[in-house]
Structure 1
Amino acid sequence: MKKKRKSLFWKFLDGVEKVGNRMPHPVTIFAILCVIVAVVSHITALTGTTVTYQGVDPKTFKAGEVTVKAVSLLNPEGIRYIFTSAVTNFTSFAPLGTVLVAMLGVGVAEETGLISTSLRKLVLSTPKTLITIVVVFAGVMSNIASDAGYVVLVPLGAIIFASVGRHPIAGLAAAFAGVSGGFSANLMIGTIDPLLAGISTEAAHLFRSDVSVTATSNLYFMIVSTFVITALGAFVTEKIVEPRLGEYKGSHTEIVEDITSDEKRGLKYALIAMILFIIGMVLLTAPANAILRDPKTGDILGHSPFMNSIVLIIALFFLVPGVAYGIGAETIKSDKDIVNGMSKAMSTMGSYLVLAFVASQFVAYFSYTKLGTIIAVKGADALEAAGLKGITLILMFVLLTAFINLFMGSASAKWAIMAPIFVPMFMQAGFAPEFTQVAYRIGDSTTNIISPLMNYFAVIVAFASKYDEDSGIGTLISTMVPYSIIFLIGWSILLIIWYFAGWPIGPGAQIFL
């Protein structure tokens, strides 16, 4: 243990944590970042910083030349924006509604005892050697449910680890690595696939009008990536993160006790309720003209009512079995107990709401000033001017995407800027747009977990502080850096192997044109 702590890498991580945690409270840090963005935006606006690129509208998928210039937050219009948009920035902050609505259902399931009993059942029935793998794998697969993994699975990962006497932050990190670091790995098509494919198709038309990228174009690579990321995530958790965290000495420990007869009855009721709920959801989505399908296209994924209501569905997925469990286990005596469960869940979110308010302003300012777009286009121009070829060019593109992702979180927004530049450029070099999209997705995923600009980063910081009051941004980043590095290296190696093997990356999708 001591020898490992003396290694250069561990000293680096310790340094990141010390520097990060000596910084002010995360709320103060985001406030300072807001000031920095304002100053930088004013300087770039005064110097006339402008970028021009062939862009794609992520909603209409239409391409065209776009000119973007830096916008100041310190001129009269910018100052008015700061004052008039504060409330809207907060209320429209994507994680805010997701977290609060989901917690209504999760709160009831937690208060009645369903979550703790289910986790004890999982712990008692799952070999301890497989718990890490299960947590990371579940995180990767949660992407099919949009952002629900951030709200539900990440805190559950901490609870599961605490239940078996392991460090809860290691469980939180393992789940976060799967959910966010493994964002582009899955066994199934998710909501992001049709969106990226549409942008890639329009970008490809700038070079050849007969090329079309489908939502399944990266499926084979994604399936293999799921197992690679799961294995890498488990390795980093057990060999790097947990040894570095050491023994957990906090108060949030879980004692795994046998399931009582009342709890068994509660689980039985919850299982029946869950089956009935799933049947109801199937009836609302499976038939050709189902209510939650897209009325125009009939699709379930994409912008269908089903996907647009996924957060409420997740809340009900916990609420309905939670109530059923409470009735069966006799932890619910009246409707007041249900409301109390929801209220208790909301009462724990106070510190998160404060953090979310300031973080939402920072994200909104970055978007308003166009600094993220300028960084993306400048980086793309630099890579294009480097004159690289073959797999070296692709790997540099992965690194560039990973870097830009630190400043611009939205996968679709970045791709709308980068696709019209790189898809035609790589097509001219002989690469199919599907392969360029794969390379982009690797870079886009691997640095999610260390980017404060990622929408849910503030949420994870709040979750971590529950188990370690002294933890901060430095603790989280230093914990997640090993995942980011190993994922980037491992995924790049897989890409190199795929490249030289010449395997198809999806149904009808090849590496080369």
Structure 2
Amino acid sequence: MNRTNSSKSIRLLNYIEEKGNKLPHPVTIFILFTFIVIVLSHILYVMGTSVTFEGVNNETMETEMLTVEAVSLLVPEGIAYMFSNVVSNFTSFVALGPVLVAMLGVGVAEKSGYISALMTNTVTKAPKRFVTPIVVLMGVLSNVAASVGYVVLVPLGAIIFLGFNRHPLAGLSAAFAGVAGGYSANLVLGTNDPLLSGISTEAAKILDAGYVVNPTDNWFYMFASTFLIVILGTLITDKLIEPKLGKFVPTEPMGNQNNEVSAIEKKGLFWANISILLTILAIAILVVPENGPLRGEGGSIITSPFMSSIIFLMMVIFLIPGVVYGVVTKTVKNDKDIANLMTSSLETMAGFIVLIFFAAQFVALFNYTNLGTIIAVKGADLLQAIQLDGVLLLVALIIITTIINIFIAADSAKWAIMAPVFVPMFMQMGIAPEVTQVAYRIGDASTNIVSPLMPFFPLVVAFAQRYGKQNGVGTVISLMLPYSIMFLVCWTIFFVIWYLLGIPVGPGTNLNY
């Protein structure tokens, strides 16, 4: 491989990596931000800071001119609020419950081996000319199961390419581009949809207490984005990355690279897939008929028990085939094993739970002090003064997100910080929270693959070193940089066109607030 570590771009990214590694843990960042909110709230309170704007009255739910003043956290009432609401801030945080519930099902499907076998079986059966797009597509689809794509599909992509006598690092790059670069795209809902929509809901309530962003509210755009990412990922891999890598010459024996699905696993997949069809059929019986019990008032689907129960249904759709697969393949022998798989899946969420605890405190205190409203109104006034329109505002948010993403890799951590500022600010500019969330997701996903602080980046480097001990951080960044740039540019253009055409980003959504 022609190394490019000495190039300006790689030297810059290595510099960012070095400096980024010195940043504190996201938990510490939230603690620091919380202290900043406490101090800033008192300063603005003493200064008598207030804003007047047109908003929704939380009591009458009618639009009127509202005046909001800064509330101090260092007066007796503020101190009492901080101490007495710690638990409720955490347990009532919108993003917490949906993600944990979804993971009960997704975790069983992952831990029983069903998801791994399904991806392996799908990719290994692909005709040679379709290998690249299928690897990228499976990477995108794997995001429904959180981190399983990084652990299973990234190394599998290298193995598949090697099996077709292609360079394994090209397969690794294609899979990584799909998993991380296409993180926000998918044909179905993933665990990040309820997480981000929950944070967006909390942020939107700063201005409109009755506003709810549903997990499905970005689905139209993310569904279409899947095909864009697959096309771009395929072209970059086949036309740029693989020719640059040249022919793979192993420096040491590669060992057995066979990753076939065994007979018992195929049997498990068959019955698990049958169980999915039966589960979807059962759900359809409850939803499709006009008088179905999961229909809403007047037969509505958009506002209905079905939409309210989408997280539980997601859990069931993964739980049932996971159990069936486990029973057939003997990874599940009794009810205790099922409970243990659920427990194991939630254990992997421990870091997320700790992060959410501190993020919830920050968001709650930020909302209590009215800082979000003040910043939103002042920011909207500034943006109106410089006469930026909706498209330029959204593009600016995409760019800001890509920069922040280099330093704060966790999407939930970034959005928990950014949403309370940008969601209400853009609402003041007439942009719906669902659209603001889409812009954020584009910027976040595009630079995942070149962020050394992304939690799974070291794992990808380790996978790359299987095919050459000299492969390091610079190797992976140099391979992934073309994907990052092309994803960012083309995805942003696609989003601008989508927005200008006035197409809803999800069912029942509006582009304007």
Change (3 A) 1:109 1:51: same
Distance 1:481 1:412, change over 3 A: farther
Cα distance change on mapping 1:394 and 1:72 into 2, 3 Å? same
Indicate yes or no: 2:126 matched with 1:130: no
Which residue number in structure 2 is paired with residue 94 of structure 1? Answer: 94
Between the two proteins, what is the percent identity of the paired residues?
Answer: 37
Aligned equivalents of 2:82 and 2:182: distance in 1? 35
* Whole-Å separation in 2 of the counterparts to 1:503 and 1:81: 46
Matched, 1:279 2:273: no
Deviations, residues 143-186 of structure 1 (Å, cap 9, x unaligned) = xxxxxx4xx24543542113234798995774354343x59999
Measure the CA separation in 2 of the matches of 1:61 and 1:403: 35
Displacement after TM superposition at 1:89 (Å): 1.7
Judge conservation of contact 2:375–2:421 (CA < 8 Å) in 1.
Answer: no
Higher relative contact order (CA 8 A, sep 6+): 1
Greater mean alpha carbon deviation, residues 164-173 or residues 348-357 = 164-173
Matched residue, 2:179: 175
**1:7-22 residue pairs with structure 2 within 5 A?**
7-22=7-22
Aligned 8 A contact 2:112 2:325 in 1: yes
Q: 1:120 to 1:87 in 2, by over 3 A?
A: same
1:130 partner amino acid: P
Alignment-derived partner of residue 418 in structure 1: 426
Contact 1:442 1:488 in 2 (8 A): no
**Partner SS state of residue 48, structure 2:** coil
Q: Does the aligned pair in 1 maintain the 2:218–2:438 contact within 8 Å?
A: no
The answer (yes or no) to whether the contact 2:109–2:318 under 8 Å persists in 1 is yes
- The offset of 1:309, in angstroms, is 1.7
Q: Distance in 2 between matches of 1:401 and 1:120?
A: 37
Letter in 2 for 1:396: L
Give CA-to-partner distance per residue, 1:88-120, whole Å, 9 cap, x none: 122122332223222222232233321221122
What TM-score do the two structures reach when normalised by structure 1? 0.67
Backbone CA RMSD of aligned residues: 5.0
CA 1:376/1:227 → structure 2, altered by over 3 Å: closer, same or farther? Answer: farther
Counterpart of 1:50?
Answer: 50
- Please report how far the alpha carbon of residue 59 of structure 1 lies from its aligned counterpart in structure 2 after TM superposition: 12
Tell me by how many angstroms 1:279 deviates: 0.7
Which residue of structure 2 aligns with residue 264 of structure 1?
Answer: 266
Indicate yes or no: 2:301 matched with 1:300: yes
Taking a change above 3 Å as real, the CA distance of residues 350 and 465 of structure 1, as seen in their structure-2 partners, is: farther
* Match runs of 1:473-512 below 5 Å: 489-494=489-494, 505=503
Deviation at residue 63 of structure 1 after TM alignment: 2.6
Shift in Å, 1:85: 1.4
Offset at residue 387 of structure 1 (A): 4.2
| Kept in 2: contact 1:443–1:488 (CA 8 A) | no
Q: CA deviation at 1:232?
A: 5.1
Cα 1:61–1:222 shift into 2, 3 Å: farther
Match of 1:213 in 2: none
Cα gap change, 1:297 to 1:155, in 2 (>3 Å): farther
Counterpart CA distance in 1 for 2:346 and 2:107 is: 8
Partner of 2:408: none
In structure 1, runs of 5+ residues without a counterpart are 143-148, 204-215, 244-253, 424-435, 453-459, 470-474
TM (norm. structure 2) is: 0.67
Q: Secondary structure at the match of 1:333?
A: coil
The answer to whether structure 1 residue 27 and structure 2 residue 27 are counterparts is: yes
Between the aligned partners of 1:65 and 1:255, the Cα distance in structure 2 is 67
Is 2:47 the counterpart of 1:39?
Answer: no
| Equivalent in the alignment of 1:322 | 322
1:429 equivalent in structure 2: none
Establish whether residue 160 from structure 1 lines up as the match of residue 163 from structure 2: no
Comparing 53-62 with 277-286, which one deviates more in the overlay?
53-62
What residue is the counterpart of 2:247 in the other structure? none
Give, in whole Å, the separation in 1 of the partners of 2:338 and 2:262: 22
The count of corresponding residues between Structure 1 and Structure 2 is 435
1:154 and 1:59, CA in 2 relative to 1: closer, same or farther beyond 3 A? farther
1:293-334 deviation per Cα after TM superposition (whole angstroms, max 9, x unaligned): 22x2422234x2222222221221121111211222233222
Between the aligned partners of 1:184 and 1:382, the Cα distance in structure 2 is 38
1:61-460 to structure 2, matched below 5 A, reads 62-126=62-126, 127-131=130-134, 133-135=136-138, 137-138=140-141, 149=144, 152-165=145-158, 174-180=178-184, 227-228=227-228, 230-231=230-231, 257-294=259-296, 296-302=297-303, 304-387=304-387, 393-402=389-398, 418-419=426-427, 421-422=429-430, 443-448=439-444
SS of alignment partner, residue 318 of structure 1? helix
How far apart, CA to CA, are the structure 2 residues paired with 1:74 and 1:466? Answer: 44
Q: Distance in 2 between matches of 1:103 and 1:217?
A: 20
SS of residue paired to 2:74:
coil
* Structure 2 counterpart SS, 1:332: coil
User: Partner of 2:300: helix, strand, or coil?
Assistant: coil
Q: For the Cα contact (< 8 Å) 2:150–2:456, is it kept in 1? A: no
The code of the aligned residue for 1:20 comes to: G
1:417 to partner: Cα distance: 5.3
Say which SS state the counterpart of residue 54 (structure 2) adopts.
Answer: strand
Distance 2:429 2:367 in 1: 20
3-state SS of paired residue (1:362): helix
- Quick one: structure 1 residues 176 and 51, their matched pair in 2 at CA, closer, same or farther if it must change by over 3 Å? farther
- The alpha-carbon distance between structure 1 residues 488 and 41, as it changes in their structure 2 partners (threshold 3 A), is farther
User: Does the residue aligned with 1:164 lie in a helix, a strand or coil?
Assistant: helix
Q: Quick check: 1:56–1:417 contact (8 Å CA) kept in 2? A: no
The one-letter code matched in structure 1 to 2:299 is: G
